Amino acid sequence: MNIRVVVVGAGSWGTTVASLAAKNTQTTVWARRPDLAAEIHKEHSNSVYLPGYELTDSLRASADLADVVSEADVLVMAVPSHGFRSVLEEAADHVRPWVPVVSLTKGLEQGSNLRMTEIVAEVLPEHPAGVLTGPNLAKEILAGDAAAAVVALEEAHIAEVLQRVFSSDLFRVYTNPDVIGCELAGALKNVIALASGMADGLGTGDNTRAAVITRGLAELSRLGVAMGGRAETFSGLAGMGDLVATCISTQSRNRYVGEQLGKGRRLDEVMGEMNQVAEGVKATAVIMQLAHEHGVDMPICSEMDAVVNQGRSPHEAYRGLLRRSPKPEHRER
């Protein structure tokens, strides 16, 4: 393919997506650290975030943001939500007109409560914006395990091109026009993963975890639909698929944080030892603001917000959920 892809951000998922795209077309990944960019470019490895895994030989890397984005036909943003806007603003003057922007970030901006594609619309108006999302654990994909994802854009013809850019024999990419639903599902499921991990840390069984995942899906679906997403999106790869993977995998950063909290560790201690971001921690307060704004009941997310931001213990959070009055399963509002 004669399409130049630039991935901004060399964390585990950004590097993995860049390695996938490099199998199909010319691809460059931007790393903030020159030493990491040099390693990816010359040694085809990322020992910081993906130790022991080989990357596609043709993948390029650079620490010069202006230089790489100026060549992009497709700009992929793999920057955590708290830095998304500032990095995009830094790149904006060098991005050619009409270049599609694809977000890999599963989070919401604190303060504005915006989705990443809404930030793109503010910083780079007139540029098509979408997301690549789904149940995708970076190390499993690099190891050659089969996986599936969704590329969501309103412009179907662009989504179909991007589908070919990211697809491989073992990485199947579907299209979906529901950008809002796909993007919200990716952000909201991280908070449910905190709860699932917390249940594991407290020593509860599979019944509890299944209940958390199922009722968590109901919560994120309610808010997602209230905010303009399509109900069917939340039963698909971007919703249920990503939720299950994030809630059960030992590779999930959000599940890990929840598990450590359930074991009695302090949040600052857990976060301080991690070299990547657990988006669910930052998303809890934002999600509760959105739930209040849209009049949506989200008891699991509410308890996670209380644990993360208000000092409630994991034991108290689970007792709070159990004290809720019984309701019909499919008639909650």
**142 and 66 belong to one structural domain:** yes
Q: Measure the CA–CA gap between 118 and 152, rounded to whole angstroms.
A: 14
d(CA 13, CA 44): 15
Q: Is residue 74 part of a domain?
A: yes
Domain boundary among 126, 148, 177: 177
pLDDT of residue 1: 79
Q: How far apart are CA 77 and CA 68, in angstroms?
A: 13
Catalytic residue status for 282: no
Q: Looking at the structure, tell me whether residues 103 and 206 fall in a common domain.
A: no
Inform me whether the pLDDT recorded for 333 exceeds 60. no
Cα separation, 118 vs 96, in Å, equals 19
- Are 95 and 124 in contact by the 8 Å Cβ rule? The answer is yes
| Same domain assignment for residues 47 and 75 | yes
Q: For 236-268, what is each residue's pLDDT tens digit?
A: 999 999 999 999 999 999 999 999 999 999 999
Is the pLDDT at 200 greater than 60, yes or no?
yes
Structural domain ending residue among the three candidates 123, 149, 177: 177
**Domains held by the chain: number:** 2
CA distance 78 to 321: 35
pLDDT in tens, 29-82: 999 999 999 999 999 999 999 999 999 999 999 999 999 999 999 999 999 999
Quickly list H helices, the chain: 12-22, 34-43, 65-69, 81-92, 116-123, 138-142, 156-166, 179-201, 206-226, 242-248, 253-262, 267-272, 279-294, 299-310, 314-322
Which of 185, 190, 159, 196 is CA-nearest to residue 238? 185
Q: Is 326 a residue whose pLDDT tops 90?
A: no
Locate 174 and state its tokens: 């579907």
Which of 106, 139, 189, 327 is labelled catalytic? 189
Q: Please tell me the distance from the alpha carbon of residue 135 to that of residue 61, in angstroms, as a whole number.
A: 26
In a domain, 327, yes or no: no
CATH number at residue 211: 1.10.1040.10
What pLDDT score was predicted for residue 230?
A: 97
Range of the domain at 307: 181-322
* Residue reference for tokens 């809630």: 247
